[in-house]
Amino acid sequence: MGRFALGIAATFAAATMAVAEGAIAPGDVEYDEYGAVAASLTGVAGDAENGKLLMNKGAGNCIACHAVSALSELSFHGEIGPMLDGVADRWTEADLRGIVANAKVMFDGTMMPSFYKTTGYTRPGDAYTGKAAQGELAPLLTAQEVEDVVAYLMTLKET
Amino acid sequence: PAMADPDADALVVNGEIEMVTEASAPAHLEGALKTVYSGWRFRSDETQAVQMDDFDNPGMLGVEVALDAWTEVAGTEGESCASCHGSPEEMAGVSATYPKWDAAAGEVQTLTMQMNECRTERMGAEPYAYDKGDAINMTALLTSVSRGMPMSVAIDGPAAETWEMGKELYYTRFGQLELSCANCHEDNYGMMIRADHLSQGQINGFPTYRLKNTKLNGVHSRFKGCIRDTRAETFAPGSPELIALELYVASRSNGLSVEGPSVRN
């Protein structure tokens, strides 16, 4: 379904700007039985440098919940999720893509937000305004941003 | 929450009001929490100290403003709060029981709603705007005279339905971040979420003077802020949802001392 979905994703994107051309739409991502996603969401290699920025800023803000020693120059790392040091030794790229895109598939009921999902929310808001969301929701991270974050996570090796 | 539990400090205000900041969880929390803690226990020593003396606590300025309003005649009936209720000290213990079922009104009322009932139905005065200055100052006066007394909110009988609604809201994962109150304040209290040390989100300390926005804050405003932070559409202060949530959260604070006006960051 992957290729076919691309066409749909592109038409969709033209209307909503939510999904970049050529990217797999959030609703079309294929998770395996464990929650891993084998195929790149964009076919474009992730940019680990941008992924590193997203760990700290914007809708990623992963270190709100996770500590990462390699980012120790940034202050205030959270303690809610596991420390991400050595995460690339524990997980494959496909696993990490699945976890970042929608961690709830792999970890049932987890507190970790789903970064590449646009439906199924209760009272979704318009970002942090407290007002109701207008129209279609954009995912928290774009498809390419998911790839960028995954590329950064793949640099977190201890062995 | 094992890593960064509440600290071991004891809260005594003005060297005389001994606060219970840690208590066995009320029975209805069985399976959820064993012990309930005041939010004071999760704040830094510096922030904690501000609440320990009324001369340092900026929230007491709101109490003073309300002391004037207490004796001020307002509305068409020529009444003041004092003309019916005497001195504010006679209201000691009242705030600890709110929100509370009001049989005549046939609804659960928050302290703010009860005050406004007195204003509109007994004084012929305008209601205070929900969670705004006048209302917050008057609730601060009413909690200040109850300080040190245990929160004891009733959840049975006719209040049960509202309580159930509040409980459901507490466990609902709102917004695009899909986070419930429980995700942060039950499952992860004691942990850091970025720069914030998560407490149990108790409301025994309300209204709270926040160093961050330098004013007294109401319960509903705080709830609204936490819901907004999940990237959700919030509920309005005074809405049925936030009234129900307040009853439920207040019942989680049962056993902890009334601290309002407290100081938080």
Position B262 scores a pLDDT of: 98
3-class DSSP assignment, residue A103: helix
Position A2 scores a pLDDT of: 29
The model's pLDDT over A64-94, given as tens digits with 9 standing for 90+, comes to 999 999 999 998 999 999 999 999 999 999 9
How far is the C-alpha of A43 from the C-alpha of A90, rounded, in Å?
A: 24
Which residues lie below 8 Å from residue A141, measured CB to CB, with a gap of 6+? A54, A59, A60, A100, A115, A116, A149
**CATH code for the domain in which residue A129 is found:** 1.10.760.10
Positive or negative, the CA dihedral B253, B257, B263, B264 is negative
Q: Give the minimum alpha-carbon distance from A130 to chain B in angstroms, rounded to a whole number.
A: 5
Q: Is the pLDDT of residue A17 over 90?
A: no
The model's pLDDT over A21-50, given as tens digits with 9 standing for 90+, comes to 789 999 999 999 999 999 999 999 999 999
Between A113, A133, A137, which is nearest B177 by CB? A113
Position B5 scores a pLDDT of: 81
Nearest C-alpha neighbor of B52 from the set B21, B97, B17, B12: B12
> In whole angstroms, how far apart are CA B226 and each of B42, B127, B158, B234?
17, 26, 28, 9
Q: Give the minimum alpha-carbon distance from A77 to chain B in angstroms, rounded to a whole number.
A: 5
User: Dmax over Cα atoms in chain A, in whole Å?
Assistant: 47
Listed as ranges, residues in chain B with pLDDT below 50 are 1-3
Answer whether B195 sits within 8 Å of A75, measured CB to CB. Answer: yes
Average pLDDT score over chain A: 89
Q: Is the pLDDT of residue A159 over 90?
A: no
Q: Give the minimum alpha-carbon distance from B254 to chain A in angstroms, rounded to a whole number.
A: 27
Could you tell me if residue A158 is inside a domain? no
Instruction: Say yes or no: A111 contacts chain B, CB-CB below 8 A.
Output: yes
| Residue in B with minimal Cα distance to A110 | B183
Neighbours of B113 (CB within 10 A): 20
Answer whether B194 sits within 8 Å of A64, measured CB to CB. Answer: yes
Could you tell me if residue A159 is inside a domain? no
Answer whether A80 sits within 8 Å of B179, measured CB to CB. Answer: no
The model's confidence at residue A60, banded by pLDDT at 50, 70 and 90, is: confident
Could you tell me if residue A111 is inside a domain? yes
Q: Give the minimum alpha-carbon distance from B175 to chain A in angstroms, rounded to a whole number.
A: 4
* Residues on chain B touching A122 (C-beta within 8 angstroms): 172-175, 178, 232
Which residues lie below 8 Å from residue B59, measured CB to CB, with a gap of 6+? B140, B207, B208, B209, B216, B260, B261, B262, B263
Q: Which domain holds residue A99?
A: 3-153
User: What percentage of chain A reaches a pLDDT higher than 90?
Assistant: 82
Could you tell me if residue A29 is inside a domain? yes
Q: CA-based Rg of chain B, rounded to a whole angstrom?
A: 18
**pTM beyond 0.90, yes or no:** yes
Q: What is the dihedral of CA B24, B26, B32, B37, to 10 degrees?
A: -50
Domains identified in chain A, total number: 1
3-class DSSP assignment, residue A95: helix
Position A8 scores a pLDDT of: 33
Residue from B169, B170, B176 to probe the interface with A (highest A Cβ count within 10 Å): B176
Answer whether B176 sits within 8 Å of A76, measured CB to CB. Answer: no
Q: Give the minimum alpha-carbon distance from A18 to chain B in angstroms, rounded to a whole number.
A: 15
Instruction: Say yes or no: A76 contacts chain B, CB-CB below 8 A.
Output: yes
Position A94 scores a pLDDT of: 98
How far is the C-alpha of B65 from the C-alpha of A96, rounded, in Å?
A: 56
How far is the C-alpha of B71 from the C-alpha of B215, rounded, in Å?
A: 23
Position A99 scores a pLDDT of: 98
Please give the ipTM for the structure prediction. Answer: 0.94
Nearest C-alpha neighbor of B262 from the set B217, B224, B226: B217
Could you tell me if residue A9 is inside a domain? yes
* Residues on chain B touching A56 (C-beta within 8 angstroms): none
Position A59 scores a pLDDT of: 80
- Joined tokens for residue A7: 């066409």
Answer whether B234 sits within 8 Å of A125, measured CB to CB. Answer: yes
Answer whether A80 sits within 8 Å of B173, measured CB to CB. Answer: no
Please state the separation of Cα B25 from the chain's center in Å. 17
Q: What share of chain A is helix, strand, coil (3-state, %, to 5)?
A: 40, 5, 60
Residue from B169, B173, B177, B191 to probe the interface with A (highest A Cβ count within 10 Å): B177
Strand bridging mode B100-102 / B107-109: antiparallel
Instruction: Say yes or no: A81 contacts chain B, CB-CB below 8 A.
Output: no
Positive or negative, the CA dihedral B229, B233, B235, B237 is positive
Answer whether B233 sits within 8 Å of A132, measured CB to CB. Answer: yes
| Residues of B with a known catalytic role | 226
Between A61, A64, A113, which is nearest B178 by CB? A113
Neighbours of B184 (CB within 10 A): 22
